[in-house]
Amino acid sequence: MDDCIIIGAGPAGLTAAIYLARFHLRIRLFDCGTSRAALIACTHNHAGYPEGISGKDLLARMLAQAERYGAVRELAEVTGLRAAETGFVARVGERDYPARAILLATGVVNHRPEMSETLHAEALARGLLRYCPICDGYEVTDRRVGVIGTGDRGTNEAIFLRGYTADMTLIAPEAEHDLPDELAAELDEAGVKRIDGPCGNYAIEGDRLAFDTAQGRLAFDSVYPALGSRIRSGLAIQAGARAAEDGCLEVDDHQRTSVPGLFAAGDVTKGLDQISHAMGEAGVAATTIRNMLAEQRPLRR
């Protein structure tokens, strides 16, 4: 039986793997290869890389560091998780893997505007499409920026980005905006333009991302979809863990879910969706897991 199975090898899962492997624990690391960090063309807000670093390079460095201490990333999707008498059982393919503790670091998946995979990848790589104002709002300072969204989420994102540029437009993804008077007033007061959708027919035109709206074709230096995310917390919920309404896992300040022995870190928990936060939570989770296991059975060399 493994001491801990880590599900997910993004910044959270890999940080935990480094810690747990260096605690001399027997771990297993499953990953299905869809880290949100792999979509980052170049992060400039992650401390320690003054020239910035691509998400893929950062993940490769973290994996190399974990491997140095014996961790192995197994490319596989965990499809089931249940509590057992002495811990948990994770299901992968046709096999069951028992472990004394589980760390869920499965992240989230952003809802995307409707466009081809190729166009999405090129627009991301060129910074024409962005998903994280906290991460890269700086890069759109004084540029022409569009947010695809409406309601609270769209308004919050547009108002946040208004701190970087005066040329801000909020475009409804579907037909008309869904904006109560107070949100509309907030947008007006901030000078954010409002355009109805539906949005469609996306294409890169020159150095801009263009698309159709109810008021004709528009083009922006950068477009932020504010369409929400799918939280990959299903496995933990299956094992009995409590989640908030949006699907984010509830954890205490040691990253413990409501199920003893089941921990969570990174975007899948409620909190700031950032690399630094994912890493910090994973460090806390890994250390708590180590101490919990040592209480159950003294760890000796």
Ligand X SMILES: Cc1cc2nc3c(=O)[nH]c(=O)nc-3n(C[C@H](O)[C@H](O)[C@H](O)COP(=O)(O)OP(=O)(O)OC[C@H]3O[C@@H](n4cnc5c(N)ncnc54)[C@H](O)[C@@H]3O)c2cc1C
Given the rule CB under 6 A, which of 25-33, 164-172, 207-215, 247-255 is the region that contacts ligand X?
Answer: 25-33
Return the structure tokens found at 198.
């539906």
Question: What is the footprint of ligand X within residues 37-66 (CB under 6 A)?
Answer: 37, 39-40, 43, 45-46
Nearest to 168 by CA among 153, 148, 183, 182: 148
Closest distance of CB 37 from ligand X, Å: 3
The one among 6, 12, 209, 239 contacting ligand X by CB under 6 A: 12
**106 near ligand X, rule: CB under 6 A:** yes
Cβ distance to ligand X smaller for residue 81 or 187: 81
The site string for ligand X over 169-198 (x = CB under 6 A, - otherwise) reads ------------------------------
Return the structure tokens found at 52.
């910035």
Given the rule CB under 6 A, which of 26-34, 93-101, 204-212, 290-298 is the region that contacts ligand X?
Answer: 26-34
Contacts of 294 (CB under 8 A, 6+ apart): none
Query: Phi, psi at residue 235, to the nearest 5°?
Result: -65, -45
**157 near ligand X, rule: CB under 6 A:** no
Cβ distance to ligand X smaller for residue 222 or 274: 274
Cβ distance to ligand X smaller for residue 135 or 190: 135
The one among 88, 131, 224, 263 contacting ligand X by CB under 6 A: 131
Site residues for ligand X per CB under 6 A: 7-13, 30-37, 39-40, 43, 45-46, 77-78, 105-107, 110, 124, 131-132, 135-136, 232, 235, 266-267, 273-276, 278
